[in-house]
Structure 1
Amino acid sequence: MSKKGIVIGVVVVAAALSITPYVIGSQTESAIQDQVALFDSSQPMYQARVVSYDRGWLSSNAVIEVGIDLDDLGLGDEVETGVATSSFQLSVQHGPILTDQGLSLGLASWQLSNDGRGLEDYVQWDKEQLLYLQQGSVSLAGNATYSDAIPQLSNTANTGEVSFTLAEYVGHGSYDGETLIYDGLFSDFVLSVESLMVEMRNAKLSMVASADIATILKGDFYTGTGQLLLDSATVTTAEAGEVAAVDELSMDYITSLSEDTSTNTTLAHMNINYGANSLRINGVEVANLRFDTAINNLDKTFLDAYLEQIRAGFGEDPEQMTIMLSELFESHGLAFLQAQPELAVTEFSGILPQGAFNANAAMSVAGVTALPDSMEDDAFWRQHLRVDSDATIAKPLLQWATTSYVHMSLVNAGQANELTAEQLDQIAAQQAAMMIQAFIQQGVLREEDDTYIFDFAIADGMMTINGQSMPLNQAMGAM
């Protein structure tokens, strides 16, 4: 290559390196202003504004003020109302040469921090640490990676009957313009409200959101997954002591969108699943517990309008919210029902010392072509309601559960006052056996080996229990 070519190349590179920081700085400022404004307008509990933005050639600095409405936290009448505000300091280094977090090439790097000033009346922590710190960078390809941290903190006496402690929290994530990935963890969290206390140990959370930042900030529906894992959790009260305890708890969700080509509509779907290695409530322990749910076929136009209505009506009088939602259904209800929405418990199962149980149920609406004059029209719902469910339960388990129910009923009704414990147990067992036998004779239950089975369905105005059908209006009249 000639010397002239080398010189031209050097000039081009030098020009690029000198122009690029300015372009990046301009784009960064515009993006931050837009996102803060969007957050402020779409999050009812919060206020946010850019107090100042100082953009230089190689770096920029900004102050972002965030406020939270204390009235919306429900801390109690004794807590001072108003808006608690605190400022976040943002520093951005413009690429392509980055040095503030080690020498590297990239479009930008940043640090967002909050020293807690303005929140001291509500939260206490080691003041030598920042209350919040986030650091990240954007590669030349436009992919962002970041980490954030919150130190150990707890409430002050100014939060009324609500108190909490949180061990140090750390997280990290990435965003490529289309997908946000985030993981975080903390070792301990304790929340107390009046006499109720909830303790969580060793939590790990993760999420994947296939959406742009604007959609996530607004809280709109998007495709994604998420999970929360806890080693253990307990719920106690001052009066009763331990109320519930769970080991190896998992909670996860999946959201998705699909296209209905027959109606040219977009449908939203969500699965929310819970699981636990063991759950103990009032001394009764269940192992291998599963509770999986699904919401399917929600008209996306209706869902978007609903979410917007919820945001717009946040803090409104409940009666006013009811009116707003009624008006929403009047304008979008037909499309909502024509999408054949479904609510399902896809699995509810567990194992007790007396045996195992497994159940599922799905409820949907089908065949709607027009709305009725009144949504309380029973004939309309009998025609379009669909239910399909079944349950299997071990015989000893149902016998124990029914006996426990009868026992409690006798005690609550005062009929056990003149009975010994042995007599009460005997009467409860006898009545429970009679109840189960009556269910079998009526066809509500059927026996199969060591289990009882219950199958239930509603379709086309008919109700079917264990294979025996009758008109739904007749069945409802008999109840």
Structure 2
Amino acid sequence: MKKTLAVLVFTLVAACIVTPKTIAPTYQEKMADIVSNINNAPGYTAKIVSTNAAWFGAENKVLVSFDTAQIDPALQGEKLEAELVIETHYGPLLFSRNGIFGLYETDIRFVGETLRNELSWDESLPLYQLSVLGGFTGNFKLADTIPAFSNPTNTFTFSGYAGKGEMSDKEFIYEGVLDQIDVDDVYNPTKAEGLTVSVELNADLETIMKGGFYDSMMDLSLDKLTLGMDTELSGITIGLSSTLDRDTQLGSLEIGYFIKEVVYEGFTASDLALVTELDNLSNKFFLDYKSFSDSLLAETNSPDSIYGALFVFMQDNIDELLTAKPEFNITDFSGTFPEGSFSASLTSKLADISTPTIDELTIPEFWLYNAIVAANIEADEALVRSLAERFIADKMRAPVTAPEVKQQAQIIIAGLIQQGLMKLENDKYLSEITIEEGQGEIYGMTFPLM
């Protein structure tokens, strides 16, 4: 028994001593690859300014800079710089906040000392820290934090941010939480409360890096947003999701905006929603685009050369994108007011046409003539009447309750019905609009768009 225990202890000790030595060369190679990839991105440069290597770990300091001329040509010669401290400990024993065992643990810190004149935070903490624990199977866990900080006058306060996630061979999940941000402005105070970021990518790291489609979901939610003294929004959610049909290799992308309630002076609204969708997107096109752009960035970082080459790629491959007949749809546009509710939807796609040039796609008339659009609108009678009265009152600079305002609003609504632009059914105003070959049609009445 004692002999078995001694062998086990010896094996563990040997692993703890030998394993770090075998990890170190691979780790430094990865560091060089990361720096090289940053340098391949337009406007970015990176270099390792120092390396301290030991048996059980290493520390690298990497200086990353960004040429602001990429954003504004007038800022030619100006750069934003940040020094990152990348400290790694080699496994198998790590005792990190992400776990006890692992292949390595890496802490990436942006200390931010140059910002301490503008911001105040705990002296012992970096402004940003990301910890990554690499597992023996290739999976990893991560956690990142930003400490609470404020400006010298305390007119801006940030409560602190914390997030954590995990990457496996099947998915990446992540969630981050921020309690509150305050901007204490005398004329326009702002407060954001209860921010949550949630990410779920149902793909392995290799698939994600290829740039194509896969099933995913990303949500940004905010419990409450206060703007000024008279505006409050609650239950805000922005959702982004993507899917891939593995049989057809067509992807879709959906973006949704939701607000549970809005209060603005005497105005209130609830259950506001806008959901847009891009459908029938060629997965091959996006995979080819990512592969081409990556190889291009490896050859040059000249913005003019890059944009010119990408323009040629788009023109040469636009047929691959359009053959799948992509669509832009508004699947839900709706809301509720004290006077009633409304809802609308829209579908649109290109007609069967020969492959256009990129220049043609930038001309509005091209889309007006070649787009096929169908839209449906439905709104409660009381809501339409109220909105018309508000509009007329604003133009006439008269009280919304004035008899002449109500009379004029009714005349406008009656005129729209008489012209066939909408109709009244079961206390709801309805309208159906179609567009094709540059012609619009509403309930049989056609009109040119060009």
Provide TM-score, normalisation by structure 2: 0.81
1:386 aligns with one of 372, 376, 396: 372
Q: Which residue of 2 aligns with 1:86?
A: 82
1:122-146 CA deviation, whole Å, 9 max, x = no partner?
5432323222223332233332112
Aligned counterpart, 1:116: 112
After superposition, residues 263-412 of structure 1 pair within 5 angstroms as 266-281=249-264, 283-300=266-283, 303=286, 329-371=314-356, 384-411=370-397
Query: Relative to 1, partners in 2 of residues 1:153 and 1:84: Cα closer, same or farther, differing over 3 Å?
Result: farther
Offset from partner CA, 1:414-467 (integer Å, 9 cap, x none):
xxxxxx648x8322222221121122122211111111111122346764423x
CA distance in 2, matches of 1:122, 1:378: 46
Equivalent residue, structure 2, for 1:208: 200
> Secondary structure of 1:294's partner?
strand
Partner of 1:427: 404
Q: Which residue does the alignment assign to 1:450?
A: 427
1:37 aligns with 2:14: no
Structure 1 counterpart of 2:54 = 56
In 1: Cα distance, 2:289 partner to 2:185 partner:
31
CA-to-aligned-CA distance 1:80-129 (integer Å, 9 cap, x gap): 98334332222222222334669933211232223212333554323232
Go from structure 1 to structure 2 and tell me whether the alpha carbon gap of 1:101 and 1:348 turns closer, same or farther (over 3 Å shift): closer
Question: Which residue in 2 is equivalent to 1:24?
Answer: 23
C-alpha distance 210-315 of structure 1, shift in aligned 2 (>3 A): farther
Matches within 5 A, 1:149-298: 149-155=145-151, 164-190=156-182, 198-210=190-202, 223-236=215-228, 242=230, 244-258=231-245, 261=248, 266-281=249-264, 283-298=266-281
CA spacing shift, 1:235–1:148, aligned 2, 3 Å: same
**Cα RMSD for the two superposed structures:** 4.3
Distance 1:190 1:304, change over 3 A: farther
> In structure 2, how many angstroms separate the alpha carbons of the residues matched to 1:223 and 1:456?
33
Distance 2:274 2:115 in 1: 39
SS of the residue 2:356 aligns to:
coil
Structure 1 Cα separation of the partners of residues 422 and 318 of structure 2? 37
Counterpart CA distance in 2 for 1:439 and 1:321 is 51
Residues 460/204 of structure 1: CA separation in 2 closer, same or farther (3 Å cut)? same
Provide the rounded CA distance (Å) in 1 between the counterparts of 2:250 and 2:321: 10
SS at match of 2:25: helix
Deviation at 1:387, TM superposition (A): 1.0
SS of 1:118 mapped into structure 2 = helix
- Judging changes above 3 Å, is the alpha-carbon distance between structure 1 residues 15 and 314 closer, same or farther for their aligned structure 2 residues? closer
Question: Which stretch shifts more, 33-42 or 194-203?
Answer: 194-203
Structure 1 residues 119 and 251: alpha-carbon distance in aligned structure 2, compared to 1, 3 A threshold: same
* 1:60-71 alignment, distance < 5 Å: 60-69=58-67
> Is the contact made by 2:211 and 2:286 (CA closer than 8 Å) also made in structure 1?
no
Change (3 A) 1:189 1:315: farther
Post-superposition Cα deviations, 1:334-368, rounded to whole Å, max 9, x if no partner, equal 33332222222111111101111111112211323
CA deviation map 1:208-267 (0-9, x unaligned):
23456588689887652111111111333xxxx54x421111111102334574xxxx54
Are the equivalent residues in 2 in contact too, given 1:166–1:189 (CA < 8 A)?
Answer: yes
| CA displacement 1:130-187 (0-9 Å, x = unmatched) | 2222333223333211222111224579xxxxx8542211111111255322111111
CA distance in 2, matches of 1:358, 1:394: 9
Aligned AA (1:65): L
Further displaced range: 273-282 or 379-388: 379-388
Q: 1:149 to 1:426 in 2, by over 3 A?
A: same
Q: CA contact under 8 A between 1:253 and 1:272: conserved in structure 2?
A: yes
In the alignment, does 2:91 pair up with 1:95?
yes
Equivalent residues of 1:71, 1:82 under 8 A apart: yes
* Alpha-carbon distance in 1 for matches of 2:251, 2:195: 29
Q: Which moved more, 1:46-55 or 1:246-255?
A: 46-55
Q: Distance in 1 between matches of 2:98 and 2:251?
A: 44
Separation of aligned partners in 1, 2:409 and 2:307: 43
| Inter-partner Cα distance in structure 1 for 2:302 and 2:18 | 48
* Cα contact 2:98–2:142 (8 A) shared by 1: no
Distance, in Å, in 2 between the alignment partners of 1:111 and 1:351 is: 48
* Structure-1-length-normalised TM-score: 0.76
Deviation at 1:380, TM superposition (A): 6.6
Residue-by-residue CA offset, 1:363-416 (whole Å, 9 max, x unaligned): 2113233337955899975664211211110001001111222222334xxxxx
Corresponding position of 1:416: none
SS of residue matched to 2:448: helix
Deviates more, 1:8-17 or 1:79-88: 8-17
Structure 2 gap ranges (5+): none
User: How many positions carry a matched residue from both structures?
Assistant: 442
Moved more, 219-228 or 57-66: 219-228
CA separation of 1:306 and 1:123: change in aligned 2, threshold 3 A: farther
Alpha-carbon distance between aligned partners in 1 of 2:403 and 2:302, rounded to the nearest angstrom: 54
SS at match of 2:136: coil
AA partner of residue 294 (structure 1) = E
8 A Cα contact 1:338 1:368, kept in partner:
no
| Deviation per residue, 1:7-33 (Å, 9 max, x gap) | 999988776655432332222222233
What one-letter code is carried by the residue in structure 1 that aligns with 2:30? Answer: A
